[in-house]
Amino acid sequence: MPTTGELPIHNQPTKRHHKTHYHVQRVRESLTSRVGKFLCATLLSLLLVSGIVVFILWLNLRPHRPRFHIRSFSFPALAQDTGFENAQITFNVTIRNSNQKIGIYYYTMKGAVYYQDQPIGGSQLPFPSSFPYYQEPKNTVWIQGQLNPPTTLVITNDRWKALMADRSAGKVLFRLELKSTIQFKVQMWDTKRHTMHATCLVTVGHDGQILPVSKNKKCPLYFN
Torsions phi, psi of 70, nearest 5? -85, 120
* Beta strand segments in 75-188, E: 89-97, 102-115, 118-124, 133-135, 139-147, 172-186
Say what the pLDDT of residue 73 is.
98
What pTM value is reported for the model? 0.73
- Is there a contact between 91 and 145 (Cβ–Cβ < 8 Å)? yes
Say what the pLDDT of residue 32 is.
73
Annotate 123-155 with b (16+ C-beta within 10 A) or e (fewer).
bebebeeeeebebeeeeebebebbbebeebbeb
Q: What is the identity of the amino acid at 215?
A: K
44: exposed, middle or buried (Cβ count in 10 Å: 0-12, 13-18, 19+)? exposed
Rounded CA-CA distance 57/168 in Å is 55
Rounded CA-CA distance 215/9 in Å is 106
DSSP β-bridge partners for residue 135: 104
Q: How many CA atoms lie within 13 A of 114 on its CB side?
A: 10
Rounded CA-CA distance 173/141 in Å is 25
Say what the pLDDT of residue 55 is.
54
Say what the pLDDT of residue 31 is.
65
Question: For every one of its 224 residues, what pLDDT tens digit does the chain have, with 9 covering 90 and above?
Answer: 555 555 555 555 555 555 566 555 665 666 677 777 777 878 887 887 776 666 555 555 678 899 999 999 999 999 887 767 778 999 999 999 999 889 999 999 999 999 999 999 999 999 988 999 999 999 999 999 999 998 999 998 899 999 999 999 999 999 999 999 999 998 777 889 999 999 999 999 999 999 999 999 999 999 98
What is the CA 126 to chain-centroid distance, rounded? 23
